[in-house]
Chains A and B, each alone.
Chain A
Amino acid sequence: MRALFVRDLALALRAGGGFGLGLAFFLIVVVLVPFSVGPSPELLARIAPGVLWLGALLACLLSLDRLLAVDWEDGALDLLATSPLPLEGVVAVKAGAHWVTTGLPLVLVAPVLGVLLNLAPAGYAVLVLSLALGTPALSMIGAFGAALTVGIKRGGLLMSLLVLPLYVPTLIFGAEAARRAAQGLDPATPLLFLAGITGGVLAVMPFAAGAVLRVNLR
């Protein structure tokens, strides 16, 4: 398990691994939004939490279609399936590595980009907290989507469509928590919901993903 995690991290960080793709996308979205909606500080401050959350979500989605597809194409997935590792564990570990290389950098860079969107000072801490709570669920749900579409050529489109509805609760509560904090309201309720969703996803999705992967490998 640890070997797989370390290998996935190494592959992501080396040339051609795709590390930074999500980060660059997030940066582009957030930098371009003020140009497209106009230079109104009040408007930007109002949409900042939503834009940051949406950017993070799409950046996360961008790199997901390669999560299992690479291992499928070079045969490693078949070999992992015959190894002592349970497929549930394989998917969970790969989702974890995806989070560390995609979700975690987004969490860390979000406050910096918040400045560009004139995010209210009170919102920064909760924005980071909500992203830290929510992005693991995005990676795990995405891994489930990747398991569903593994083996399909250009499966990224289908995967996005399958995964997006499952992303909605995380997006709603994550953005709501950041918005409430930015307006000086108490963000505890949406944060608790967000934590609950992530907890449930992390508990259930590895098994669902393992099961569909087994079907898809046949």
Chain B
Amino acid sequence: MELTVTDLAVGRGGVPVLAGVSFGLVGGRALVLRGPNGSGKTTLLRTVAGLQDPMAGSVQGAEDQVAYAAHADGLKAALSVAENLRFWASVFGQRDIDPALRAFDLEALVDRRAGQLSAGQKRRLGLARMVVTARPLWVLDEPTVSLDAASVALFADAVRAHMAQGGAALIATHIDLGLEADIFDVTPYRAKPGAVAASDEAFL
């Protein structure tokens, strides 16, 4: 698996946010995105995940390779932990959810409804979803929000295990995860206002 981002410009609502972003990521590596709030990390990640089109430049090697996790975990309050996880596993053509439950210490909670979980437990369930996708490229947007120190360590272990299996991770975070990861600061790539003309956004 190899992700190549070339001269990428991304925008939010037709307003360019980042321009000229280039980086590469290969299996077994992690790349941590840094930058202040509003600097365009989320927009960049959404573009890499294919949820929005780049305004310029290209993203190669990401299609059908990405498991994406954003601020919202997509959990259904009325379903149990196991049902939520099993659903995402079968969407991605997988069956086994036990390793994911183990990796995020959710085994005691399998029959609990997701609506009754604490914020940190929900987050752990959302991250366990990454494991069951079996996709090689993890794209994670602020994965450690509402996690305690022990859970952050669990998450770091999960990312390490993923990298050991040849996977890669692209992570936007403000804290130090203790991973052997490259750092990519998006601040210098901030787009100048009006640098890229809005495409067809005005009509949509």
Interface residues of A (CB under 8 A from B): 2-4, 7, 10-11, 14-17, 71, 73-85, 215, 217-218
Contact = CB atoms under 8 A, between A and B. Distances in A.
Nearest to A14: B78
Nearest to B133: A83
Interface of B: 49-53, 64, 66-79, 83, 86-88, 90-93, 129, 133, 204
A16 B129 CA distance: 24
A83 B65 CA distance: 9
Given A75-B70, A78-B51, A11 B78 contact: yes
B76 A82 contact: no
Among B66, B67, B74, B92, residue most surrounded by chain A Cβ atoms (within 10 Å):
B74
B-side interface mostly: loop
B19 to A, nearest CB: 18
A157 B193 CA distance: 36
A218 B52 contact: yes
A85 B66 CA distance: 13
A217 B51 CA distance: 7
A15 to B, nearest CB: 7
B51 to A, nearest CB: 6
Given A3-B91, A84-B91, A215-B204, A75 B49 contact: no
Closest 10 CB pairs of A and B: A75-B72, A76-B74, A3-B90, A218-B52, A14-B78, A75-B74, A82-B68, A79-B74, A83-B91, A7-B87
Nearest to A83: B91
Contacts of A85: 91
B51 A16 contact: no
Contacts of A218: 51-53, 204
A73 B72 CA distance: 8
A80 B91 contact: yes
Contacts of B133: 83
A79 B76 contact: no
A80 B83 CA distance: 16
Given A75-B72, A76-B74, A81 B51 contact: yes
